[in-house]
Amino acid sequence: MRVCDLTGKRAMVGNNVSHSNRKTKRRFYPNLQDKKFFIPEENKWITLRVSTKAIKTINKMGITAALREWAKHGTI
């Protein structure tokens, strides 16, 4: 399933709109990447399927702080 492991982002539903203004259903998928992260406290690697926004947040905060923050909000 196309869901971010950390943020819970999932596909949205919308319309393709043609030049003649006809509308057909389509899906907007999140930009998910399979990424390995090293957790120094546990001395192990974990593989997560995360959105690119989550990757940027992890790069900014660090993996342990980001995991702690998302666990506090209940998304993981």
Domain ranges of the chain: 12-73
| Amino acid identity for residue 51 in this structure | S
Cα distances (Å, whole numbers) of residue 57 to 6, 60, 65? 11, 5, 10
CATH number given to 12-73: 2.30.170.40
With beta carbons less than 8 A apart as the criterion, state whether 47 and 34 touch: yes
Q: What is the pLDDT of residues 22-61, one digit of tens each?
A: 999 999 999 999 999 999 999 999 999 999 999 999 999 9
Cα distances (Å, whole numbers) of residue 17 to 11, 22, 32, 58? 18, 6, 25, 36
Nearest to 61 by CA among 44, 45, 37: 37
**Across residues 2-25, what is the average pLDDT?**
96
pTM over 0.75: yes
